[in-house]
């Protein structure tokens, strides 16, 4: 224990032996935690991807929520890449500001004394937030990005104007024996997003695009099934609203010779077709023979309807995925939205409208803009309900056809179960007419 801690303990020791013990205990715990963190830093190894190209970012094993909204069951990483050319050195994206220590330490391990360019593919702070620190440590570095991203970085991080080099689509900069080409890709998340292509090594740095929230010590993600699941969750939660833009940008890069896709979250891909084919499937207009049912029930009436309806869909060979909104991970709901043809929202009535938790889920569905084709509503009410109008009015982003709902007074009765059978028949018929593919 160092002198500073001993003095602190003496200053806070008010004479009571138990209090003194607690303070000493806390100080020891803090010291142990600090050692633990230092060991973690050692784990954040610099990895050489190709000669002169290094992964220098940070893995965030413990993060469980992103944007105070998105669950991260598997943590995440903030990938940053250092490229040493024969004449100049570039850093591609940085890390979340909570991890700036790891990035700076990794650069020290490589004995980097100067950086010429910091390439900013995206302005969001989990990638750009350590740029100010890099500019402090490497004062000659310039931030290379497109005009839109420059404006955003000035607003978000207060980076001075004279620190920027502005590039446009297809522009290049040379590092000597290595060439960076910039491909503007607006709206694969934000309006300023872009990719950087390292020509000589055929590496495409895509930042958020094609990424996954997956903390892993494998640089390339050896467990393909896990990477697929994490990448699909990531697409569902972050990229799905930009499906149309993504189609356009995938088309633009289809002839690019890519050997490695290096994203800024999760493992890299040394088989680019793995993730590119997955995206082609997710963004396609095809929907599957699936119904998802986000539901909530207060006194059991809506639950009875959901249970009956799930059974009715199974009998008709339709894949059904119910999500109890009181306990579901919204990421799981988002994943299901990538493929499903139909959503049936199930809710009781609260003060003539839908239950507030249903409102939250419906708002999210609308914001994520899945390729759903059909929607309906089931649920119950005590004395009156305008639930259907509310929920319909919340799904205006979606090009969907509404199928006749089943909203019942109180506990469902025999005729209500028959109405649920009719709804299941209608969905089956619609799926057949649309030619949905089997999951
Ligand atoms: Fe990973 Fe849009 O930030």
Q: How far apart are the CA of 336 and the centre of ligand 1, in A?
A: 22
Q: Of all residues in the chain, what percent carry a pLDDT higher than 70? A: 90
Please write the tens of the pLDDT for every residue from 207-254.
999 999 999 999 998 899 999 999 999 999 999 999 999 999 999 999
The class that CATH gives domain 45-283 is alpha beta
Question: For residue 67, what pLDDT band results from cuts at 50, 70 and 90?
Answer: confident
Please write the tens of the pLDDT for every residue from 118-156.
999 999 999 999 999 999 999 999 999 999 999 999 999
Answer for the pair 416, 408: CB distance below 8 angstroms, yes or no. Answer: yes
Please write the tens of the pLDDT for every residue from 44-55.
689 999 999 999
The per-residue pLDDT for 137 is 98
The per-residue pLDDT for 366 is 98
Q: Whose CA is nearest to atom 2 of ligand 1?
A: 124
Q: Where are the domains of the chain?
A: 3-41, 45-283, 288-434
Q: How many CA atoms lie within 13 A of 231 on its CB side?
A: 25
Residues with C-beta less than 6 Å from any ligand 1 atom: 122, 124, 126-127, 189, 208, 265
Q: How far apart are the CA of 208 and the centre of ligand 1, in A?
A: 5
The per-residue pLDDT for 19 is 42
Q: Of all residues in the chain, what percent carry a pLDDT higher than 90? A: 86
The per-residue pLDDT for 336 is 98
Q: How far apart are the CA of 188 and the centre of ligand 1, in A?
A: 10
Ligand 1 atom, smallest distance to 211 CA: 1
Q: Whose CA is nearest to atom 1 of ligand 1?
A: 208
Q: How far apart are the CA of 167 and the centre of ligand 1, in A?
A: 21
- The answer, yes or no, to whether residue 42 has pLDDT greater than 60, is no
- The answer, yes or no, to whether residue 157 has pLDDT greater than 50, is yes
Return left, alpha or beta for 363; rule: phi > 0 is left, psi -120 to 50 is alpha, else beta: alpha
The per-residue pLDDT for 10 is 37
Whole-structure pTM value: 0.89
Q: How far apart are the CA of 242 and the centre of ligand 1, in A?
A: 14
Q: Whose CA is nearest to atom 3 of ligand 1?
A: 124
The per-residue pLDDT for 44 is 66
Q: How far apart are the CA of 377 and the centre of ligand 1, in A?
A: 34
Ligand 1 atom, smallest distance to 78 CA: 1
CATH no. for 288-434:
3.40.50.360
Please write the tens of the pLDDT for every residue from 174-214.
999 999 999 999 999 899 999 999 999 999 999 999 999 99
- The answer, yes or no, to whether residue 15 has pLDDT greater than 70, is no
- The answer, yes or no, to whether residue 438 has pLDDT greater than 80, is no
């Amino acid at each position: 224990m160092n002198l500073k801690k001993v003095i602190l303990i003496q200053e806070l020791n008010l004479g009571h032996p138990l209090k003194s013990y607690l303070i000493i205990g806390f100080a020891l715990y803090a010291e142990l935690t600090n050692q633990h963190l230092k060991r973690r830093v050692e784990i954040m190894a610099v990895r050489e991807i190709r000669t002169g190209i290094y992964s220098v970012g940070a893995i965030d094993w413990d993060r469980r929520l992103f944007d105070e909204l998105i669950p991260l069951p598997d943590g995440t990483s903030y990938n940053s890449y250092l490229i040493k050319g024969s004449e100049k050195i570039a850093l591609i994206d940085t890390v979340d500001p909570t991890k700036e220590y790891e990035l700076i330490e990794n650069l020290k391990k490589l004995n980097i004394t100067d950086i010429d360019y910091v390439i900013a593919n995206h302005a969001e702070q989990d990638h750009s937030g350590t740029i100010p620190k890099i500019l402090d440590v490497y004062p000659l570095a310039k931030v290379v990005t497109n005009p839109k991203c420059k404006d955003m970085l000035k607003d978000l991080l207060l980076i001075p104007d004279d620190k920027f080099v502005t590039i446009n689509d297809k522009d290049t900069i040379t590092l000597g024996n290595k060439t960076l080409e910039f491909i503007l890709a607006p709206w694969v998340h934000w309006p300023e997003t872009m990719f950087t292509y390292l020509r000589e090594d055929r590496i495409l740095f895509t930042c958020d695009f094609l990424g996954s929230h997956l903390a892993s010590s494998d640089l390339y993600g050896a467990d393909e099934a896990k990477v697929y699941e994490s990448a699909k969750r990531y697409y569902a939660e972050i990229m799905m609203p930009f499906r149309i833009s993504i189609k356009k940008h995938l088309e633009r890069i289809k002839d690019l010779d890519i050997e490695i896709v290096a994203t800024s979250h999760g493992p890299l891909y040394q088989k680019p077709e793995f993730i590119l084919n997955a995206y082609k499937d997710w963004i396609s207009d095809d929907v599957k023979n699936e119904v998802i049912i986000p539901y909530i029930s207060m006194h059991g009436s809506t639950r009875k309807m959901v249970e009956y309806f799930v059974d009715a869909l199974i009998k008709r060979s339709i894949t059904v995925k119910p999500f109890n909104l009181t306990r579901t991970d919204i990421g799981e709901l988002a994943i299901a939205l990538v493929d499903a043809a139909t959503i049936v929202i199930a809710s009781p009535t609260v003060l003539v409208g839908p239950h507030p938790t249903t409102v939250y889920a419906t708002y999210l569905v609308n914001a994520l803009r899945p390729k759903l084709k059909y929607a309906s509503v089931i649920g119950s009410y005590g004395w009156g309900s305008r639930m259907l109008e509310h929920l319909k009015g919340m799904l205006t982003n979606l090009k969907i056809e509404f199928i006749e709902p089943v909203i019942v007074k109180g506990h469902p009765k025999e005729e209500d179960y028959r109405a649920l059978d009719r709804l299941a028949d209608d969905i089956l018929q619609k799926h057949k007419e649309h030619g949905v593919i089997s999951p």
